[in-house]
Each structure stands twice: as C-alpha cells, then as structure tokens.
C-alpha cells in the first residue's frame, strides 16, 4: 500500500523482511522533497550494508591478507597514522598540501578564514568511501590512533561551526560560547559548501567507526533550524541530506519523527509517510 507521500528512494519506513517486490513509481507532482537527495542518501546507506555482508563473507580472510600487505597504500589511513602528508593539490587555489595530520590539528585550529576559504583539506580529513574501495574503512575502524585523530578533526570542524563536542562517548554536541559569529557565517548562503561539508562529515563518521556521533549532530541541527529558528539557510540540507546520512534506522526514524513534530506547516512535511509519523500505523523496526 502506497500513499502519495511515500518515497521510492527512502527505505526508512520499510520493514526489514518485507517482500522486496519492486515498488511502483510514484510521481511527486506536489512534493517539495528533493528526490535527488533522497536517492543519493539511500545509495550511500545501502552501499554500506552491501559492503558489510561482503566483509562478513568468506572474502574477508583474503581481503585482510591483501590489506596487511598493501597497508601503506591506503592513503587516508596512512595520512591519519601520520605516515604520509597530504599531497599537493592540482588546483591553483590556496591549497592544503604537504601537511601532516598533527601539524594540521595544531596549526589550523581556530584559523577560521583559512578553514572557510581553503577547499581541499576536507577530503583528507573526512574521507568517504567511493565505490570499489572498501577495505580502507574496515581497517580504519580498527585503528584506535587513527580514530582518535578523526575525533580531533571533528572537534576542529565543530569549533569552526560554533559547536562543541560535549560528550566524547555519546557524541552529544552543544553550542560553543562564540556560536553567534559562526552561525552567521553558516547562514550566509543557502547552498553553501559548508552544507556539503557537513554531509560529508556525517557520512564519514558513519563509515569510519563513529556511527553513534551521527544522530546527535543531526538532532542538534534539527533543533537549531526547526525549533529555535537559527540557521535557516541550513534547513533544507538538514532535512534532505543530514537526516538521511544516519545509518541506524531506528535513530533515523526518531529524527524524522522529531522533524515532523516541529516542522511548520506540518501538511507540507515531505520527508516521511504521514501515516507512520502521526502514529496511525506503528512501524516495526
Ligand atoms: C557522557 O555520557 C555518558 C553517558 O550518558 C555519561 O555517563 C558521562 O558521564 C558523560 N560524560 C560527560 C563528560 O558528560
């Protein structure tokens, strides 16, 4: 049964074991939901699930051997372990090259203009999986040192956005004392590169072993945009992208419910089927 607010690109409300009959295409003539975003974020989540099965399979033994042999070649891990520096940019823009991860953490903290204007560092700090490269993430997740440096990078970016990691174990975030200036910067443009960066950061946290950090950050942004009314320029990205980067399905549902509760006008909420959100039908997770 499909109502007109269901989205073929969003499995958030599907039951895990329900029959996988191909879904009918639904045309969203009136819907303001960004279908490109829904599809993109769903692909991101599903590729990871597919990979998990692959890793769990017999191949994992072979993969592990290959990984050990070629460890040095996984440049993102090698970068985070401090074995390599970022390589020169091929652009003429102010660049991020030949930087060691620890130097970066020391020298770039609080350098807000640089963090705003330079573009290339974000790919180094928050690598995301591209199709076909799998094993790096798998290895990264096991490496405590790399992971703690990733947390450092995360804190540095939060500071740049006027946020503060309040609890390192839960991932709870709150506004930093100097949040106003930073929120003003975030709010300058509707589709700014910072929205893209935050989506990337969320994907990376999910992939590299900090999955539990995803929901608290998204919850924070939902609260700031929908409840308090700050960061209006981020609102569309929070709903279309940030929320759907969260890999844990029950957390994702909680976030969509929270968004529905605070979104005004509620009739125009297009990020989940209203029959679940209004509590008419209980979805099983
Ligand atoms: C972080 O959260 C955990 C779990 O709620 C709690 O036990 C711990 O005291 C918190 N730590 C800080 C620094 O607030």
User: For residue 285, is pLDDT > 60?
Assistant: no
Q: Is 250 in the pocket of ligand 1 (CB under 6 A)?
A: no
Select from 272, 174, 186, 260 the least CA-distant residue to 217.
174
Task: Give the number of other CB atoms < 10 A from CB of residue 236.
Answer: 16
pLDDT at 1: 45
CB of 167 shorter than 6 A to ligand 1: yes
C-beta separation of 150 from 208 below 8 A: yes
CA dist 285 and 15 (Å) reads 6
Residue nearest to atom 13 of ligand 1 (CA): 167
Cβ-Cβ contacts under 8 Å for 74 (sequence gap 6 or more): 67, 135, 136, 139
Mutation pick for ligand 1 pocket among 155, 164, 165, 169 (CB with most ligand atoms within 8 Å) = 169
DSSP for 207-267 reads: HTT-GGGHHHHHHHHHIIIIII---GGGHHHIIIIIGGG---HHHHHHHHHHHHHH-SSGG
CA atoms within 13 A on the CB side of 220: 21
Cβ burial, residue 57 (10 Å; 0-12/13-18/19+): exposed
- pTM of the full predicted structure? 0.81
- Position 188 confidence tier, pLDDT thresholds 50, 70, 90: confident
DSSP state of 16: T
C-alpha R_g of the chain: 20
Question: If you measure from the C-alpha of residue 169 to the centroid of ligand 1, how many angstroms do you get, rounded to a whole number?
Answer: 7
* 153 Cα–ligand 1 center, Å: 21
The residue-averaged pLDDT of 159-181 equals 96
Q: DSSP class of residue 284?
A: P
What is the tens place of the pLDDT at every residue in 228-284? 999 999 999 999 999 999 999 999 999 999 999 999 999 999 999 988 888 766 655
Residue 156's pLDDT band, with cuts at 50, 70 and 90, is very high
Residue 275 confidence (pLDDT): 83
- State how far Cα 52 lies from the chain centre: 18
CB-ligand 1 contact for 266 (6 Å cutoff): no
The b/e string for 240-279 (b: 16+ C-beta within 10 A; e otherwise) is bbbbbbbbbbebbbebbebbbeebeeeeebbbbbbebbee
Q: Determine the pLDDT at residue 94.
A: 47
Alpha carbon distance 134, 151 (integer Å): 21
Query: Mean pLDDT, to the nearest integer, of 90-97?
Result: 50
What share of the chain in percent tops pLDDT 70? 73
- Residue 184 makes CB contacts below 8 A (sequence gap 6+) with none
Domain ranges of the chain: 36-284
Least confident span in 79-88, 163-172, 241-250, 262-271: 79-88
Cβ–Cβ < 8 Å for 242, 225: no
CA atoms of 140 and 80, how far apart (whole Å): 9
- pLDDT attached to residue 57: 66
Ligand 1 centroid to Cα of residue 123, in Å, is 31
Ligand 1 pocket mutation pick from 151, 155, 170, 171 by most atoms within 8 angstroms of CB: 170
């Amino acid at each position: 049964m499909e109502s007109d607010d269901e989205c073929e690109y969003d499995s958030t409300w599907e039951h895990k074991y329900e029959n996988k009959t191909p879904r009918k295409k639904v045309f969203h003539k009136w819907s303001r939901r960004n279908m490109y975003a829904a599809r993109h974020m769903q692909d991101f989540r599903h590729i990871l699930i597919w990979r998990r099965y692959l890793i769990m399979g017999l191949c994992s033994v072979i993969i592990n051997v290959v990984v050990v042999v070629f460890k040095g070649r996984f440049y993102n891990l090698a970068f985070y372990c401090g074995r390599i520096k970022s390589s020169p940019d091929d652009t003429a823009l102010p660049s991020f090259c030949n930087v060691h991860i620890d130097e970066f953490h020391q020298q770039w903290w609080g350098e807000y203009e640089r963090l705003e204007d330079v573009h290339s560092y974000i790919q180094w700090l928050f690598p995301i999986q591209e199709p076909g490269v799998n094993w790096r993430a798998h290895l990264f997740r096991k490496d405590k040192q790399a992971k703690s440096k990733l947390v450092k990078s995360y804190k540095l970016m939060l500071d740049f956005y006027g946020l503060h990691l309040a609890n390192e174990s839960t991932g709870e975030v709150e506004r930093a004392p100097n949040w106003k200036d930073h929120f003003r910067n975030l709010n300058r443009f509707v589709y700014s590169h910072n929205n893209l960066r935050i989506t990337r950061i969320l994907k990376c946290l999910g992939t590299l072993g900090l999955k539990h950090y995803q929901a608290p950050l998204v919850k924070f942004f939902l609260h700031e945009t929908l409840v308090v009314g700050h960061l209006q320029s981020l609102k569309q990205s929070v709903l279309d992208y940030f929320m759907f980067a969260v890999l844990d399905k029950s957390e994702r549902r909680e976030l969509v419910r929270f968004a529905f509760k605070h979104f005004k006008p509620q009739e125009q909420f297009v990020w989940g089927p209203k029959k679940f959100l209004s509590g008419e039908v209980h979805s099983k997770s």
